[in-house]
Structure 1
Amino acid sequence: MPAGPVLNGETIPSFEQFVARDVFVKSPSGRFRQPRVPYRIGGVRPRPFTAVAEAAAVDWQPRPGGADASWDLPLAGVRVLDCTAWWAGPAASHVLACLGADVIKVESAGRPDLMRFTSTKRPGDGPWWEWGPLFHGVNVGKRGVTLDLTRPEGVDVFERLLGTADAVLENYTPRVMDQFGLGWERVHELNPRTVMVRMPAFGLDGPWRDRTGFAQTMECIGGMAWVTGFPDGPPVLVRGACDPLAGVHAAFATMLALAERDRSGQGMLVEAAMVEAAVNIAAGQVIEHDMAGTLRTRSGNRSDAAVPQGVYQCAGDDRWMALSVTTDEQWEALVDVLGNPTWAGGLGDIDARLAAQDRIDGELSTWAATREPDDVADLLSAAGIPAEVVLPAKDILEN
């Protein structure tokens, strides 16, 4: 069962899997810890981070301008065998497909990609497994083949395809490809130029190696859940952000490995652990704890950089408006729209507004409660204040 602890800015770096895999390293300044690069290519440990002032400038060569009818997408001619499922892995191969790669998705009729089952149709209603919106969202632009890799015939076809492939992506738990007899050693033996990208939940080594994990698990371990929610409530799951984040990191690592393959002529193993992509995105709270000793907690919709910021109920049944005031000029515009009420006096700078958030939110809630959300959003937007109506999903297509 996928499960993990809810960690925070203080406890994330001491998580046993992160310690075993040396995930956290010193920043170039030495003043705080930060996650290392969330992938390994060819078994090589990522080089230490370098201070920006010390980093060598990249000599980017400009591309020639003008229309060119012969222009191809950057990965045109690259073939990828896609043995991924759910969201993170298919998101990675989808990026490659969008960049022109010929991506062949491998599924088994006995165990298809279970993201198909998040369908808009009921089981029994025709080919209901073909009606999964999220499945289609990350598998468009790919070809597909059905192979049972538990049978010799399926492995034989896969190995023949492998002989034509530039890359193989998979996001099973680490033991699965080995059980198929298709681990890195076998892949490299059959096609020495193939890059194999493995996307385990927690990595190919360490005490959590063989545990399963989904985005929700990573949100807890990586600290996202700890800072999501209201101050008087429990940690709240973000519900899926880690999947596409892991996918983009894996796609980038794949392209790096392919570029190195083109230089060296040799394929290599790429390891892109999902949880390490998540902790790279959510590392701000670790840095804040190291630098200031502050444990960031839940603050609802509020922000230290925007006051007021939140959603405010308007007239009607469950109708809301969102706004975010990020500058003192926007605050002045808001005060003007509100008719320069006396309660807004002395709040011209963000420090004063931070100290008065409860009062500001209370006054805005009272003001918005009798007004239509569309009218409020239009009024505020016209004054240069970031504001918009909160739409339920059912109304998005009509917006």
Structure 2
Amino acid sequence: MAAQKHGPLAGIKVLELGTLIAGPFCSRMLAEFGAEVIKIESPEGGDPIRQWRVLKDGTSLWWSVQARNKKSLSLNMKSPEGQEIARRLALDADIIIENYRPGVLEKWNLGYESLKAINPATIMVRLSGYGQTGPMRDQPGFGAIGEAMGGLRYVSGHPDRPPVRVGISIGDSVAALHGVIGAMMALRHRDVTGGRWNGKRADQCVAGQGQMVDVALYESVFNLMESLVPEFDVAGVVRERTGGALPGIVPSNTYTTKDGENIVIAGNGDAIFHRLMKAIQRNDLADDVQLMRNDGRVPRTAEIDGAIQVWCDTQTIDSPLSILQAADVPVGKIYSVRDMLSDPQFLARNMFEQHHFEDGTAVKVPAMTPKMSETPGVTQWLGPKLGQHNEEILHQLGYTNEQIAEFAHKNII
């Protein structure tokens, strides 16, 4: 594999074995910051996300972001030849990212233990619904199920209605971020224990110690659930749905303005609460001794929220934003994508990049996050065509033009 030239991960080789969201989002972030990512896709249509949501010329606009900077190798993983090609790529990779059901890679002779026996520096990030162990390991687990089991769905929505989902695939994306964190920690451990494998037999080389990073979707969601467990264990408190409010931290809620816009006001710090009440001309609440601390405000949550909403009922959207910002109170309009694209803060931070499809159509995509002062991420190309890099990758593995043509004839690529 030829290394990318840009970013803090330049020179790191990644093999992506997986589809849809969790695994591909994990490798996407590595690709954005310089890793060379080879994505293996089925020759029969490729990753299903190519056809998800809004399409342009038959390909998802999501794909242009989810697969940017990646190289696409179409490969029939059900064939012995395809498995052998994937195995050669896996043994040469610094990181392997996969999100198949547990056991699938082992069936293809690509399991962690078999790779580790040859390359002790192998790092494999495995993302699945329930992890590689436990009674549920073999069950299919999508992000939505992880959100439900991990506790997020239970606390999302209004108390008098069924739970709701966040408007994005948050469970998959949170798992992907845990995969990135695990991969970086594993790379660090490998480097301090000896470094990259030199291609010799395991008993003939001193390589760094690789490891398996086992990411379960439900555990990744569960990891975000703040004080959920100790509150129940010690105090018997089950956190419930509270709509737009932040329970036990007052005031922090969503309010509606006179013109029907929604804003979030977070006046839950003691000094902030005092400034907020002054700003909405409720000196009586600002000076109320009982409300000077959060534990005194919690029993009077409805009263405080009511006072803020009464004030918002008299204001159009720009007014509360300017008044509360001037009072140094955290406040923000709830943005749609239309708001983001014209917002001075987004624009000042260069949060959008403009690129072009092959037909010349311009497209904006999100810029890289996080921002790095010395080694920022770079979009080198948008999501590739299926099999776009077949010849390049196979030539680097040592296959001849004749062999590649034979692979194509036999529908292996």
**TM-score under structure 1 normalisation?**
0.72
**Number of positions where the alignment pairs a residue of Structure 1 with one of Structure 2:** 322
- Matches of 2:299 and 2:211 in 1, distance apart? 54
- Matches of 1:86 and 1:338 in 2, distance apart? 47
Aligned residue number for residue 269 of structure 1 = 212
- Matches of 2:213 and 2:246 in 1, distance apart? 37
The C-alpha deviation readout for 1:275-333, integer Å capped at 9, x for no partner, is: 222222225211211222222222222235642221211122x3122211022222222
Q: SS in structure 2 opposite 1:243?
A: helix
Residue 74 (structure 1) shift: 4.1
Aligned residue number for residue 315 of structure 2 = 371
Given the alignment, which residue of 117, 123, 128 partners 1:200? 128
The C-alpha deviation readout for 1:12-69, integer Å capped at 9, x for no partner, is: xxxxxxxxxxxxxxxxxxxxxxxxxxxxxxxxxxxxxxxxxxxxxxxxxxxxxxxxxx
Q: SS in structure 2 opposite 1:323?
A: strand
- Matches of 1:165 and 1:86 in 2, distance apart? 21
Given the alignment, which residue of 135, 145, 149 partners 1:217? 145
- Matches of 2:185 and 2:328 in 1, distance apart? 42
Query: What amino acid maps onto 2:110 in structure 1?
Result: L
Task: Say if 1:162 and 1:190, in contact at 8 Å, map to a contact too.
Answer: no
- Matches of 2:7 and 2:286 in 1, distance apart? 54
Aligned residue number for residue 307 of structure 1 = 250
Query: What amino acid maps onto 1:392 in structure 2?
Result: S
C-alpha change, 1:188 and 1:111, in structure 2 (3 Å) is: farther
The C-alpha deviation readout for 1:212-262, integer Å capped at 9, x for no partner, is: 112221111111122222222333333533323222222232233334444
Task: Say if 2:245 and 2:254, in contact at 8 Å, map to a contact too.
Answer: no
Matches within 5 A, 1:135-150: 135-150=63-78
**TM-score under structure 2 normalisation?**
0.70
Task: Say if 1:220 and 1:237, in contact at 8 Å, map to a contact too.
Answer: no
**Overall identity of the aligned pairs, in %:** 33
- Matches of 2:101 and 2:39 in 1, distance apart? 18
Aligned residue number for residue 281 of structure 2 = 339
Aligned residue number for residue 93 of structure 1 = 27
- Matches of 1:245 and 1:97 in 2, distance apart? 18
- Matches of 2:116 and 2:262 in 1, distance apart? 56
C-alpha change, 1:392 and 1:253, in structure 2 (3 Å) is: closer
Q: SS in structure 2 opposite 1:353?
A: helix
C-alpha change, 1:291 and 1:154, in structure 2 (3 Å) is: same
Where structure 2 has 5 or more consecutive residues not aligned to the other structure, the ranges are: 195-206, 344-413
- Matches of 1:341 and 1:393 in 2, distance apart? 37
Task: Say if 2:274 and 2:287, in contact at 8 Å, map to a contact too.
Answer: no
- Matches of 2:122 and 2:213 in 1, distance apart? 11
Task: Say if 1:320 and 1:389, in contact at 8 Å, map to a contact too.
Answer: yes
Given the alignment, which residue of 93, 113, 116 partners 2:50? 116
Alignment of 1:76 with 2:13, yes or no, is no
Where structure 1 has 5 or more consecutive residues not aligned to the other structure, the ranges are: 1-70
Matches within 5 A, 1:239-250: 239-250=168-179
RMSD value, Cα: 2.6
Query: What amino acid maps onto 2:317 in structure 1?
Result: P
- Matches of 1:342 and 1:165 in 2, distance apart? 65
Residue 189 (structure 1) shift: 5.3
Tell me which moved more, 331-340 or 375-384.
331-340
Q: SS in structure 2 opposite 1:226?
A: helix
Aligned residue number for residue 298 of structure 1 = 241
Residue 192 (structure 1) shift: 4.6
- Matches of 2:41 and 2:301 in 1, distance apart? 52
- Matches of 1:78 and 1:215 in 2, distance apart? 28
Query: What amino acid maps onto 1:312 in structure 2?
Result: Y
Residue 161 (structure 1) shift: 2.3
- Matches of 2:217 and 2:26 in 1, distance apart? 11
Alignment of 1:166 with 2:94, yes or no, is yes
C-alpha change, 1:256 and 1:339, in structure 2 (3 Å) is: closer
Residue 342 (structure 1) shift: 4.7
Residue 386 (structure 1) shift: 0.8
Aligned residue number for residue 270 of structure 2 = 328
